[in-house]
Amino acid sequence: MNKVVLVTGANSGIGLALCERLLQDTESLQLCLACRNMQRAQAARSALLTSHPSAQVALLQMDTSSISSVLAAAQEVKLRYNRLDCVYLNAGIMPKPQFDVNAFFKGLFSSGIITMFMTGQGILTQKDCVTADSLQEVFATNLFGHFLLIRELEPVLCDAGHTSQLIWTSSSNAHRPAFNLEDIQHQRGTQPYSSSKYASDLLSLALNTHHNKQGLYSSVICPGFVMTNMTYGILPSFPAFLWTLLMPVFWLIRMFCNNFTLNPYNGSEALLWLFKQKPESLDPQAKYHSSTSGLGNNYIQPRKMDIDLETSEALYEQLLNLESEVRKKLKGKQK
Protein backbone atom coordinates (compact mmCIF):
# COMPACT_ATOMS: atom_id res chain seq x y z
CA MET A 1 0.00 0.00 0.00
CA ASN A 2 1.34 3.45 -0.92
CA LYS A 3 2.38 5.60 2.00
CA VAL A 4 0.73 9.03 2.08
CA VAL A 5 2.98 11.89 3.18
CA LEU A 6 2.09 15.57 3.63
CA VAL A 7 4.87 18.17 3.82
CA THR A 8 4.21 21.80 4.77
CA GLY A 9 6.60 24.44 3.46
CA ALA A 10 7.63 22.05 0.69
CA ASN A 11 8.42 24.40 -2.21
CA SER A 12 11.99 25.33 -1.25
CA GLY A 13 14.89 24.76 1.13
CA ILE A 14 14.80 21.82 3.50
CA GLY A 15 11.20 20.97 2.61
CA LEU A 16 11.95 20.57 -1.09
CA ALA A 17 15.17 18.67 -0.40
CA LEU A 18 13.20 16.29 1.83
CA CYS A 19 10.61 15.69 -0.90
CA GLU A 20 13.36 14.85 -3.39
CA ARG A 21 14.94 12.41 -0.96
CA LEU A 22 11.60 10.78 -0.06
CA LEU A 23 10.93 10.09 -3.74
CA GLN A 24 14.44 8.68 -4.16
CA ASP A 25 14.21 6.37 -1.16
CA THR A 26 10.54 5.26 -1.18
CA GLU A 27 9.11 3.15 -3.98
CA SER A 28 5.40 3.54 -3.25
CA LEU A 29 4.60 7.05 -2.09
CA GLN A 30 1.81 9.59 -2.45
CA LEU A 31 3.40 12.96 -1.72
CA CYS A 32 1.37 16.09 -1.01
CA LEU A 33 3.14 19.47 -1.02
CA ALA A 34 1.29 21.97 1.20
CA CYS A 35 2.45 25.46 0.27
CA ARG A 36 1.34 29.06 0.63
CA ASN A 37 2.53 30.23 -2.80
CA MET A 38 1.04 28.02 -5.52
CA GLN A 39 3.26 29.39 -8.28
CA ARG A 40 6.35 28.28 -6.36
CA ALA A 41 4.61 25.03 -5.46
CA GLN A 42 3.98 24.30 -9.14
CA ALA A 43 7.65 24.96 -9.90
CA ALA A 44 8.69 22.60 -7.10
CA ARG A 45 6.33 19.89 -8.33
CA SER A 46 7.66 20.24 -11.88
CA ALA A 47 11.23 19.89 -10.63
CA LEU A 48 10.35 16.77 -8.66
CA LEU A 49 8.54 15.20 -11.62
CA THR A 50 11.48 15.95 -13.89
CA SER A 51 13.62 13.78 -11.60
CA HIS A 52 10.85 11.25 -10.91
CA PRO A 53 8.42 11.20 -13.88
CA SER A 54 6.20 8.44 -12.45
CA ALA A 55 5.93 9.94 -8.95
CA GLN A 56 2.56 10.80 -7.40
CA VAL A 57 2.98 14.43 -6.34
CA ALA A 58 -0.07 16.53 -5.43
CA LEU A 59 -0.34 20.17 -4.39
CA LEU A 60 -2.33 21.73 -1.58
CA GLN A 61 -2.68 25.44 -0.97
CA MET A 62 -2.23 26.27 2.70
CA ASP A 63 -0.97 29.27 4.64
CA THR A 64 -0.31 28.19 8.22
CA SER A 65 -0.60 31.81 9.40
CA SER A 66 -4.26 31.88 8.31
CA ILE A 67 -6.94 30.04 10.27
CA SER A 68 -9.36 29.85 7.35
CA SER A 69 -6.62 28.61 5.00
CA VAL A 70 -5.62 25.81 7.39
CA LEU A 71 -9.21 24.71 7.92
CA ALA A 72 -9.94 24.70 4.18
CA ALA A 73 -6.74 22.77 3.45
CA ALA A 74 -7.54 20.19 6.13
CA GLN A 75 -10.99 19.63 4.64
CA GLU A 76 -9.41 19.09 1.23
CA VAL A 77 -6.94 16.55 2.68
CA LYS A 78 -9.77 14.56 4.26
CA LEU A 79 -11.59 14.49 0.91
CA ARG A 80 -8.49 13.24 -0.93
CA TYR A 81 -7.09 10.69 1.53
CA ASN A 82 -8.61 8.23 3.98
CA ARG A 83 -5.38 8.10 5.96
CA LEU A 84 -2.05 9.89 6.39
CA ASP A 85 1.13 8.00 7.25
CA CYS A 86 3.29 11.02 7.97
CA VAL A 87 2.89 14.78 8.27
CA TYR A 88 6.02 16.94 8.18
CA LEU A 89 5.37 20.19 10.05
CA ASN A 90 8.10 22.10 8.29
CA ALA A 91 6.65 25.48 7.27
CA GLY A 92 8.09 28.39 9.21
CA ILE A 93 9.13 32.02 9.13
CA MET A 94 11.67 34.16 10.91
CA PRO A 95 11.01 37.92 11.06
CA LYS A 96 13.58 40.17 9.47
CA PRO A 97 15.95 40.72 12.36
CA GLN A 98 17.74 43.76 13.64
CA PHE A 99 21.39 42.93 13.17
CA ASP A 100 24.24 44.16 15.38
CA VAL A 101 27.22 44.41 13.01
CA ASN A 102 29.76 45.19 15.74
CA ALA A 103 28.66 42.21 17.84
CA PHE A 104 28.89 39.99 14.75
CA PHE A 105 32.53 40.81 13.98
CA LYS A 106 33.47 40.56 17.65
CA GLY A 107 31.80 37.15 17.72
CA LEU A 108 33.84 35.95 14.74
CA PHE A 109 36.95 36.06 16.91
CA SER A 110 35.42 34.83 20.15
CA SER A 111 34.85 31.45 21.77
CA GLY A 112 31.11 31.91 21.15
CA ILE A 113 31.35 31.88 17.35
CA ILE A 114 29.60 28.52 16.97
CA THR A 115 26.70 29.49 19.23
CA MET A 116 26.42 32.82 17.43
CA PHE A 117 26.04 31.18 13.99
CA MET A 118 23.77 28.41 15.25
CA THR A 119 21.34 30.61 17.18
CA GLY A 120 21.99 34.28 16.40
CA GLN A 121 22.52 34.82 20.11
CA GLY A 122 23.85 38.27 20.90
CA ILE A 123 23.53 39.62 17.36
CA LEU A 124 19.82 39.38 16.47
CA THR A 125 16.55 40.77 17.77
CA GLN A 126 13.22 40.38 15.96
CA LYS A 127 9.99 42.31 15.63
CA ASP A 128 6.84 40.30 14.99
CA CYS A 129 3.58 41.46 13.42
CA VAL A 130 -0.10 40.52 13.76
CA THR A 131 -2.15 38.41 11.31
CA ALA A 132 -5.68 39.07 10.05
CA ASP A 133 -6.82 36.61 12.76
CA SER A 134 -5.26 38.86 15.44
CA LEU A 135 -2.51 36.35 16.21
CA GLN A 136 1.22 36.95 16.34
CA GLU A 137 2.48 35.95 12.89
CA VAL A 138 5.46 33.81 13.92
CA PHE A 139 3.41 31.97 16.53
CA ALA A 140 0.59 31.38 14.04
CA THR A 141 2.84 30.27 11.17
CA ASN A 142 5.33 28.12 13.05
CA LEU A 143 3.12 26.62 15.76
CA PHE A 144 -0.60 27.34 15.98
CA GLY A 145 -1.43 26.76 12.32
CA HIS A 146 0.23 23.36 12.54
CA PHE A 147 -1.56 22.59 15.81
CA LEU A 148 -4.90 23.40 14.20
CA LEU A 149 -4.00 21.28 11.17
CA ILE A 150 -3.25 18.29 13.40
CA ARG A 151 -6.53 18.75 15.26
CA GLU A 152 -8.47 18.84 12.00
CA LEU A 153 -6.66 15.82 10.57
CA GLU A 154 -7.15 13.55 13.59
CA PRO A 155 -9.70 11.38 11.72
CA VAL A 156 -7.05 10.41 9.12
CA LEU A 157 -4.13 10.36 11.56
CA CYS A 158 -5.61 8.50 14.52
CA ASP A 159 -6.90 5.37 12.78
CA ALA A 160 -7.35 2.07 14.61
CA GLY A 161 -4.65 -0.42 13.73
CA HIS A 162 -2.62 2.17 11.84
CA THR A 163 0.49 4.08 12.97
CA SER A 164 1.08 7.68 11.87
CA GLN A 165 3.93 10.13 12.40
CA LEU A 166 4.18 13.85 13.02
CA ILE A 167 7.67 15.23 12.41
CA TRP A 168 8.44 18.83 13.41
CA THR A 169 11.27 20.91 11.99
CA SER A 170 12.54 22.65 15.10
CA SER A 171 15.82 24.46 15.69
CA SER A 172 18.87 24.68 17.93
CA ASN A 173 17.49 28.17 18.58
CA ALA A 174 14.63 26.70 20.65
CA HIS A 175 15.53 28.11 24.05
CA ARG A 176 13.52 27.81 27.27
CA PRO A 177 14.27 31.43 28.38
CA ALA A 178 12.63 32.74 25.19
CA PHE A 179 9.34 31.01 26.03
CA ASN A 180 6.78 32.16 28.59
CA LEU A 181 3.58 30.28 29.44
CA GLU A 182 1.99 33.63 30.32
CA ASP A 183 2.80 34.92 26.82
CA ILE A 184 2.74 31.92 24.48
CA GLN A 185 2.41 34.16 21.41
CA HIS A 186 5.49 36.12 22.49
CA GLN A 187 3.75 39.47 22.18
CA ARG A 188 6.06 41.14 24.68
CA GLY A 189 9.39 39.59 23.67
CA THR A 190 12.07 40.06 21.02
CA GLN A 191 12.70 36.37 20.19
CA PRO A 192 9.45 35.13 18.59
CA TYR A 193 11.23 32.53 16.43
CA SER A 194 13.04 30.95 19.37
CA SER A 195 9.84 30.99 21.42
CA SER A 196 7.82 29.32 18.66
CA LYS A 197 10.41 26.58 18.17
CA TYR A 198 10.65 25.86 21.89
CA ALA A 199 6.84 25.70 21.95
CA SER A 200 6.88 23.16 19.10
CA ASP A 201 9.24 20.99 21.17
CA LEU A 202 6.78 21.16 24.07
CA LEU A 203 3.78 20.51 21.86
CA SER A 204 5.40 17.43 20.33
CA LEU A 205 5.76 15.95 23.81
CA ALA A 206 2.14 16.77 24.68
CA LEU A 207 0.88 15.22 21.45
CA ASN A 208 2.64 11.98 22.37
CA THR A 209 1.02 12.06 25.81
CA HIS A 210 -2.45 12.47 24.30
CA HIS A 211 -2.26 10.42 21.11
CA ASN A 212 0.23 7.55 21.38
CA LYS A 213 -2.58 5.18 22.41
CA GLN A 214 -4.35 6.08 19.16
CA GLY A 215 -1.28 5.20 17.08
CA LEU A 216 -0.10 8.78 16.49
CA TYR A 217 3.52 9.63 17.37
CA SER A 218 5.33 12.96 17.27
CA SER A 219 9.06 13.65 16.87
CA VAL A 220 11.28 16.72 16.58
CA ILE A 221 14.36 17.39 14.46
CA CYS A 222 16.97 20.10 14.11
CA PRO A 223 18.39 20.53 10.58
CA GLY A 224 21.55 22.21 11.80
CA PHE A 225 22.97 25.40 10.29
CA VAL A 226 21.70 25.37 6.72
CA MET A 227 22.11 27.96 3.99
CA THR A 228 18.48 28.60 2.95
CA ASN A 229 16.47 31.69 2.05
CA MET A 230 15.70 32.09 5.74
CA THR A 231 19.39 32.01 6.60
CA TYR A 232 20.28 34.54 3.92
CA GLY A 233 17.59 36.82 5.31
CA ILE A 234 19.37 36.94 8.68
CA LEU A 235 21.93 39.41 7.31
CA PRO A 236 19.77 41.54 4.99
CA SER A 237 22.19 44.45 4.82
CA PHE A 238 25.15 42.30 3.74
CA PRO A 239 25.99 41.77 0.04
CA ALA A 240 25.59 38.21 -1.25
CA PHE A 241 29.31 37.76 -1.85
CA LEU A 242 29.93 37.93 1.91
CA TRP A 243 28.32 34.52 2.32
CA THR A 244 30.71 33.15 -0.30
CA LEU A 245 33.63 34.61 1.62
CA LEU A 246 32.33 33.05 4.83
CA MET A 247 31.90 29.53 3.42
CA PRO A 248 35.55 28.51 4.09
CA VAL A 249 34.99 29.62 7.69
CA PHE A 250 31.87 27.46 7.90
CA TRP A 251 33.68 24.43 6.43
CA LEU A 252 36.47 24.91 8.96
CA ILE A 253 33.97 25.12 11.81
CA ARG A 254 32.35 21.90 10.58
CA MET A 255 35.59 20.06 11.30
CA PHE A 256 34.87 20.71 14.99
CA CYS A 257 31.10 21.26 15.06
CA ASN A 258 29.07 18.84 12.95
CA ASN A 259 25.87 20.89 13.28
CA PHE A 260 27.06 22.90 10.26
CA THR A 261 25.14 20.85 7.69
CA LEU A 262 25.23 23.91 5.36
CA ASN A 263 22.97 22.68 2.54
CA PRO A 264 19.29 21.57 2.52
CA TYR A 265 20.13 18.00 1.47
CA ASN A 266 22.30 17.49 4.55
CA GLY A 267 19.84 19.38 6.75
CA SER A 268 17.02 17.02 5.78
CA GLU A 269 18.93 13.95 7.00
CA ALA A 270 17.06 13.63 10.31
CA LEU A 271 13.69 14.19 8.60
CA LEU A 272 14.32 11.28 6.25
CA TRP A 273 15.84 9.07 8.95
CA LEU A 274 12.79 9.44 11.22
CA PHE A 275 10.49 8.42 8.35
CA LYS A 276 12.31 5.08 8.19
CA GLN A 277 12.03 4.33 11.93
CA LYS A 278 9.29 2.66 13.91
CA PRO A 279 7.68 5.70 15.62
CA GLU A 280 6.98 3.80 18.83
CA SER A 281 10.70 3.11 19.26
CA LEU A 282 11.67 6.81 19.29
CA ASP A 283 12.34 8.93 22.38
CA PRO A 284 9.58 11.59 22.74
CA GLN A 285 11.93 13.83 24.73
CA ALA A 286 14.79 13.72 22.22
CA LYS A 287 15.50 16.11 19.38
CA TYR A 288 17.08 14.35 16.42
CA HIS A 289 19.84 16.51 14.93
CA SER A 290 21.03 16.33 11.34
CA SER A 291 24.83 16.29 11.47
CA THR A 292 27.58 16.36 8.84
CA SER A 293 31.16 15.34 9.54
CA GLY A 294 34.18 17.28 8.36
CA LEU A 295 34.46 14.73 5.53
CA GLY A 296 30.87 15.39 4.45
CA ASN A 297 29.24 12.25 5.88
CA ASN A 298 25.72 12.65 7.25
CA TYR A 299 24.46 11.07 10.45
CA ILE A 300 21.94 11.60 13.27
CA GLN A 301 22.54 12.80 16.83
CA PRO A 302 19.65 12.43 19.31
CA ARG A 303 19.84 14.89 22.21
CA LYS A 304 17.56 15.31 25.20
CA MET A 305 15.43 18.44 24.98
CA ASP A 306 15.11 20.94 27.81
CA ILE A 307 11.39 20.28 28.24
CA ASP A 308 9.09 18.79 30.86
CA LEU A 309 5.66 17.15 30.91
CA GLU A 310 4.05 19.77 33.17
CA THR A 311 4.95 22.69 30.91
CA SER A 312 4.02 20.76 27.76
CA GLU A 313 0.60 19.95 29.21
CA ALA A 314 0.04 23.57 30.25
CA LEU A 315 0.86 24.75 26.72
CA TYR A 316 -1.43 22.11 25.22
CA GLU A 317 -4.35 23.31 27.34
CA GLN A 318 -3.73 26.92 26.34
CA LEU A 319 -3.65 25.96 22.67
CA LEU A 320 -6.96 24.12 23.04
CA ASN A 321 -8.49 27.20 24.65
CA LEU A 322 -7.12 29.44 21.90
CA GLU A 323 -8.47 27.05 19.28
CA SER A 324 -11.92 27.33 20.83
CA GLU A 325 -11.68 31.13 20.78
CA VAL A 326 -10.61 31.42 17.15
CA ARG A 327 -13.28 28.99 16.00
CA LYS A 328 -15.95 31.08 17.74
CA LYS A 329 -14.63 34.25 16.12
CA LEU A 330 -14.58 32.56 12.72
CA LYS A 331 -18.19 31.40 13.11
CA GLY A 332 -19.15 34.93 14.12
CA LYS A 333 -17.59 36.37 10.96
CA GLN A 334 -19.34 33.78 8.79
CA LYS A 335 -22.73 34.78 10.22
Residues carrying an active site annotation: 193
Q: Are 237 and 257 in contact (CB under 8 A)?
A: no
- Bridge-based pairing state of the strands 286-292 and 298-304: antiparallel
Q: For the chain, report the end-to-end CA distance as a whole number of angstroms.
A: 43
Count of helix runs (H) and strand runs (E) in the chain: 14, 10
Q: Are 286 and 250 in contact (CB under 8 A)?
A: no
Length of the chain: 335
- Say which residues have a Cβ less than 8 Å from residue 21's Cβ, sequence separation at least 6: 265, 268, 272
Distance CA 208, CA 166 (A): 10
Distance CA 44, CA 48 (A): 6
* DSSP per position, 43-81: HHHHHHHHH-TT-EEEEEE--TT-HHHHHHHHHHHHHH-
- The half-sphere exposure of 55 on its side-chain side, counting CA atoms within 13 A, is 26
DSSP-derived secondary structure letter, 96: P
